[in-house]
Amino acid sequence: MDLDALIEERFAVLDRVPVGTCVLDPDYIVRHWNRRFESWTGIPRADIQGKRITEFVPSLDDPKYTDRLKIIFAGGPPAMFSSLLHKHVIPAPLKDGTMRIQDTTVSPIPTPEGEGFWALLVAEDVTDLSRRVQDYREMRDRAVGVVRERERAEGLLTRSEKQFRGLFESATVFIHLLDTEGRIQQSNPAAIQGTGYTREELLGRHITDTLSPQCREAFMTQLPFLLKGETRRREMEVLCRDGKAITVDCAASPIRGDDEEVSSIVVIQRNITAQKRAEEELHRAIELARAANEAKSEFLANMSHEIRTPMNAIIGMTDLVLGTDLDPTQREYLNMALSAGESLLRVINDILDFSKIEAGKLELDPIEFNIRQPFKDTLNVLLVKAQAKGIRLSAQIPDDVPEELIGDPGRLRQILTNLIGNAIKFTEEGSVDVEVSVLKQAAGRLELQIAVKDTGIGIPPEVQKSVFEAFAQADGSTTRRFGGTGLGLTISGKLVEMMGGRIWVESQPGQGSTFYFTCKFQTPGHALSAPEVLWDCEGARILIVDGDARRRATTCEWVANWDMEPIGVGTRPTAMIALEEALRVERPFGAVLVSHPMAGLDGFLLAEQVKEHPQLTDTTVVLLTAAGNPGDARRARDLGISAYLTKAHEEAILIRGLLQSLAAGPNPRRLITRHTLREGHGHHRILLLSDSKAERARTHRLLDCFGYAVKALEADPRALDTVGDQEQHDLIILDIRSRCPGGAAAVRALGERGLRLGRPVRILALVSASRLEEGQLLIEPDVDEFHERPSRSRDLLTLVDQAITPSDQSKTA
């Protein structure tokens, strides 16, 4: 057999394998080329066998193949040629040009002759296998990814579970995990320790079994809301195993399962028993303090009544005695008593005001009033003190400040009295000046700034702020040196605040202080009309109710002097009987004058009784009191009382108030007070010269009360020196009781003064009956009118009225 046949026979089997096979000898001659290679490459066996393979596949000449084939031909280990590395099919590209993935193995095979080795190339198409491997790998990678992700998640879950378990175990609050019916599934150690139950006792038990009876229902009410996914929190009471109750702040929240449904409920309870107890104790303490404070307020209110009632009596009676004939020593002593009584009453009022401020009970009592009046009143009162120290005292109210305002004149007066009083107190020489200016004026509103300037000792900067604090004075020594409660500025500050303003001080030690305050008022829509006065009061029946017989008699006398018919009674029941009786006989009283409070008579109570009586409700009630209490005016207005008159033990005030009340009729729009009496007057200025101090004061008050602007001086030519040249008067009244020569001198001085100023003034001379003849001789020739002094106020007023307006005979005030 020749070699070719031998080869043919030997390699015939290779035509039957599904891989490409090729056999090369060491000279690269193709010894065999199987059918698969024929079909893959399109190179027929007949063409390639016996030829060098490099003629068909030149790349095989590359050393990277030849080097390795050399080993094969030497019988060395088989070689692998991968299609990826070599980028083409070995030994040739496929016929259709496609790139297949092909593994080619080259192995040595013994030559047919048995000497040396040939190389058997086996090319395997592994495209499909490779694709399957690829698919498998992707699948495997995906599976691995999923597994790893799950493992990671589980790891996280485990960690998170551990964390939560740690939290649950170590929390100091009680934590219970409940099923949806409220049964305990888990309880943390704090809950077990805190309630005293064992874990076994708690598990499976309904949560309400651990709650106090009143909380059980509360929890069951919450349960449906929890199951709906809401959170609930409230205070609950937990019952411990030993029966002890613990107050807890209990928060319950639903926990949702994977299906988003509420699967369990977590209840967190924080023990707040101690906190609760502290709160209760605090409440109790506050309650005690409040009760104590209320007791204090009540005590002070009682004190107010208990102290003020006798004080009013002391002052009122002293004043009454001063109106009688006294020798100078008696008068001096009584004046001292009166002054001391008034000081004491002021102190008492300060303390009461302060306690009211503390209790928040201080209220303003707004009425329509003339802004100039409180200034005038205050200055009038304090002028004496200022003059005694040789200090000038003045007040400037510019014309742009409206006359009529709505506010609390009493409280304004209180502030002014305090600030001006202080200024005088702390000033040794120089002046105290009060300046008023308009800060803001808008429709219906007015804001004023008031400055009280002194040239006194001043206030060190470091204590300027504290002067408005209670019980504080510039230094402790001032109290001893200057007296006072130290409450004045505190009260003033509070009052200013209530009036919508503020108060402050500017001061240099040694150079004086200026206290400023602002306050807001309303302006009335209408001008204040001059109050009507019923002059034709003759025959009016007036019921005078006063527990004090002597004063009752005095009042009756004053009323009778005005040709009215007084009927006096001493008690509330008799007053009611008198009133009803008058109705029965159809001679009703024009007015009831009620004294309050005096000798057990509560005027307000009687007023209330009268006003509530169906047939007496239109009775004009005038309340009289020696010294008023703050808040009384409001009470009086609420009851429908016509007038509330303080210092009503003076005839002028009492009668003027009564006449005004009679004119206004029952249930007037405005309450008549001592301050409103003077409103709308002061147009006629009178210079009153009198040689009796007491009479001068009484006449002054009478004229003042009936609307005249009065300046009262001693009937002495020297006194005239105090009258400034710029002052103008419409009338000069010369009231002479003692010897007439003094009066004559005064008249001459007045005449000279009139001549000097080129402004002669009408002079009305009044002389007592005993001096009439002497007067006629000495005085009458030099005066415009000369009269015997009338004993009745009414007649005096008539004289004055005629003298001042000789052409107009109508009686106006």
Task: Report, in Å, the least distance between residue 6 CB and other proteins.
Answer: 23
Closest separation in Å from C-beta 93 to other proteins: 17
Q: Which residues pair with 624 in a beta bridge?
A: 595, 645
Query: What is the spatial distance between Cα 592 and Cα 544, in angstroms, rounded to a whole number?
Result: 6
Give the binding range for other proteins (CB under 8 A) out of 22-30, 38-46, 131-139, 356-364: 131-139
Q: Which stretch binds other proteins (CB under 8 A): 98-106, 626-634, 673-681, 741-749?
A: 98-106
Sequence-distant (≥ 6) Cβ neighbours of residue 609 within 8 angstroms: 572, 576
The answer to whether 717 and 749 have CB atoms below 8 angstroms apart is yes
Q: Rule CB under 8 A: is residue 485 a binding residue for other proteins? A: no
Q: How far is the CB of 82 from other proteins (least distance, A)?
A: 4
Q: For residue 784, what are the β-bridge partners?
A: none
Single out the segment in contact with other proteins by CB under 8 A; choices: 1-9, 130-138, 382-390, 768-776.
Answer: 130-138
* Least spacing, CB of residue 135 vs other proteins, in Å: 9
Instruction: Determine the angle formed by the axes of helices 603-612 and 632-639, rounding to 10 degrees.
Output: 20
CB of 205 to other proteins, least distance (A): 50
Classify 352 in phi/psi space as left (phi over 0), alpha (psi -120 to 50) or beta.
alpha
Closest CA to 727 of 699, 691, 754: 754
- Tell me which DSSP letter residue 444 carries: T
Alpha carbon 396 to chain centroid distance?
36
The residue type of 146 is V
Residue number, 37 or 117, with CB nearest to other proteins: 117
Q: How far is the CB of 129 from other proteins (least distance, A)?
A: 9
* Residue closer to other proteins, measured from CB, 133 or 295: 133
Residue 143 as a binder of other proteins (CB under 8 A): the answer is: no
> Which residue lies nearer to other proteins by CB, 61 or 287?
61
85 contacts other proteins (rule: CB under 8 A): yes
Shortest reach from residue 102's CB to other proteins, in Å: 8
Question: Measured from the CB atom, is 120 or 705 closer to other proteins?
Answer: 120
What is the 8-class DSSP label of residue 528? P
Residue closer to other proteins (CB basis): 121 or 655: 121
Among 15, 26, 45, 101, binds other proteins (CB under 8 A): 101
* φ and ψ at residue 61, rounded to 5 degrees: -80, -10
Q: Which stretch binds other proteins (CB under 8 A): 35-43, 125-133, 267-275, 544-552?
A: 125-133
SS3 of residue 150 by DSSP: helix
Between the alpha carbon of residue 711 and those of residues 56, 114, 386, 684, 720, the distances in Å are 151, 166, 17, 11, 11
Measured in whole angstroms, the distance separating CA 559 from the mean position of its chain's CA atoms is 52
Distance CA 678, CA 230 (A): 73
- Of 121 and 415, CB closest to other proteins: 121
Decide whether 86 or 698 has the Cβ nearer to other proteins. Answer: 86
* Residue 779 phi, psi dihedral angles, 5° rounding: -110, -45
Q: Residue 9 or residue 67: which is nearer to other proteins going by CB?
A: 67
Q: Which of 140, 587 has the CB closer to other proteins?
A: 140
CB of 193 to other proteins, least distance (A): 47
For residues 486 and 463, the answer to whether their CB atoms sit within 8 Å is: no
Check binding of 343 to other proteins (CB under 8 A).
Answer: no
CB of 85 to other proteins, least distance (A): 6
**Residue 64 C-beta: closest distance to other proteins, Å:** 5
Phi, psi of 539 (to 5 degrees): 85, -5
Which residues in the 167-226 window bind other proteins by CB under 8 A? none
Token pair, residue 282, equals 């605090």
CB of 77 to other proteins, least distance (A): 4
Element (H, E) at 437: strand 431-442
Under rule CB under 8 A, residue 94 binds other proteins: no
Q: Tally the residues of the chain.
A: 813
Are 648 and 619 within 8 A, CB to CB? Answer: no
Told to check if 134 binds other proteins by CB under 8 A, we report yes
Residue 125 touching other proteins (CB under 8 A): no
Q: CB-hemisphere CA count at 13 Å for 755?
A: 7
Instruction: Tokens for 158, please give them.
Output: 């485990």
The least CB distance from residue 23 to other proteins, in Å, is 17
Choose the stretch contacting other proteins; rule: CB under 8 A; options: 97-105, 240-248, 329-337, 717-725: 97-105
Nearest approach in angstroms of CB 140 to other proteins is: 10
Nearest CA among 433, 362, 432, 369 for reference residue 404:
369
The reply to whether 484 sits near other proteins by the rule CB under 8 A is no
Binding mask 44-83 for other proteins (x = CB under 8 A): -------------------xx--xx--x--xxxxxxxxxx
Q: Does 508 bind other proteins (CB under 8 A)?
A: no
Q: Which is nearer to other proteins, 75 or 510 (CB)?
A: 75
Helix (H) or strand (E) run with residue 736 in it: strand 731-736
* Residue with Cβ nearer other proteins (74 or 274): 74
Toward other proteins, which CB reaches closer, 108 or 707? 108
From the CB of 89, what's the least distance to other proteins, in Å? 12
C-beta of 257: minimal distance to other proteins in Å? Answer: 38
Residue 105 binds to other proteins (criterion: CB under 8 A): yes
Does residue 26 interact with other proteins by CB under 8 A? no
474 closest CA partner among 438, 511, 422, 424:
422
Q: How far apart are CA 689 and CA 813, in angstroms?
A: 21
Q: Is the peptide bond before 91 cis (omega within 30 degrees of 0)?
A: yes
Instruction: Name which of 622, 558, 563, 628 is nearest 593 in CA terms.
Output: 622
Nearest approach in angstroms of CB 229 to other proteins is 47
Q: What are the distances in angstroms from CA 145 to CA 138, 139, 151, 157?
A: 10, 10, 10, 18
Regarding 131 and contact with other proteins (CB under 8 A), the answer is yes
Q: Which residues of 765-786 are buried (b: 16+ CB within 10 A; e: fewer)?
A: bbbbeebbebbeebbbeebebb
The minimum distance between CB 103 and other proteins, in angstroms, equals: 5
713 Cβ partners below 8 Å, 6+ apart?
687, 688, 689, 696, 719, 720, 722, 723
Segment interacting with other proteins (CB under 8 A) among 101-109, 470-478, 577-585, 643-651? 101-109
Q: Compare residues 99 and 553 and give the one whose CB is closer to other proteins.
A: 99
Q: Which is nearer to other proteins, 62 or 469 (CB)?
A: 62
Number of residues near other proteins (by CB under 8 A): 27
Give the integer Cα–Cα distance in Å for 707 and 813. 6
Q: How far apart are CA 518 and CA 412, in angstroms?
A: 11
Question: Any idea what DSSP says for residue 455?
Answer: -
Which residues form the interface with other proteins (CB under 8 A)?
Answer: 63-64, 67-68, 71, 74-85, 101, 103, 105, 107, 126, 130-131, 133-134, 137
